[in-house]
Structure 1
Amino acid sequence: MIVEIVTGADERPEVRVVDTDDLSRLHLALGQVTDEEADRALRDAGLGRLEDAETGSLDTAALRAAAEPDADVADWAQRWDAMVESARGGGWVTDDGATLRVHVESAAGA
């Protein structure tokens, strides 16, 4: 799954959740936006925030709500839970489970 922040209508950054069925990976992909624009777009979308140029924090419940309607695989919920547990094992989930920390990559490499 990829959370993309790209330049949208009127040159304003927009957030899109794509590749929702691929729960083997999760990252934040930034297009031609500044870190400040990416942070603002994530906050405005209610999905999280940019911690720094390499790490983002995503609201677990908001990300699931944004991704699940586009899911096309029958066992998506189980795959989601497995992804979160895997991230937890790697130290990428807050203790309360409310936030997933993710790597930031260039959208060109997504």
Structure 2
Amino acid sequence: MIVEVVGGADERPEVRVVDTDDLTRLHLALGQVTDEEADQALRDAGLGRMQDADTGVLDAAALRAAAEPDADVADWAQRWDGMVESARGRGWVSDDGAFLQVHVESAAGA
């Protein structure tokens, strides 16, 4: 699953959740936006925030709510739980389980 922050209409970045059925990976992909623009777009979308240039923090419940309606696999909920548990084992889940820490991939030249 990828959370994208890309340039949108009227120069306002948009947040999209794509590849929702691929729960073997989760990262934040930034298009031609600054870290500050990405942070504001994530906050405005209610999905999370930028921690720094390399790390994002996503609201787990909001991400699930955004992704699950687009899921095409019958066992998506179980795959989601498995992804969260895998992230927890790596220390990428907050103590209360509310937030997921993710790697940021920026577009070349951004």
Fold-level similarity (TM above 0.5): yes
In structure 2, the residue corresponding to 1:51 is in which secondary structure?
strand
Q: What is the alpha-carbon root mean square deviation over aligned residues?
A: 0.8
Q: Is the 8 A contact 1:4 1:107 kept in 2?
A: no
Shift of 1:107: 4.4
Percent identical across equivalent pairs?
87
Off by >3 Å, runs of 4+ in structure 1: none
Correspondence for 2:67: 67
Q: Per-residue displacement from partner, 1:23-49 (whole Å, max 9, x unpaired)?
A: 000000000000000000000000000
Q: How many positions carry a matched residue from both structures?
A: 108
Instruction: Indicate conservation of the 8 Å contact 1:94/1:100, yes or no.
Output: yes
The CA distance in 2 between the partners of 1:7 and 1:105, in whole Å, is 15
Partner of 1:106: 106
CA change 1:100–1:23 in 2 (3 A) is same
The normalised TM-score by structure 1 is 0.96
Residue of structure 2 in register with 1:6 after alignment: 6
Deviations 1:56-109 (A, max 9, x none): 00000000000000000000000000000000000000010000000000246x
How far, CA to CA, are the matches of 2:49 and 2:23 in structure 1? 21
The one-letter code of the counterpart of 2:64 is: R
* In structure 2, distance between residues paired with 1:34 and 1:47: 17
Q: TM-score, normalised by structure 2?
A: 0.96
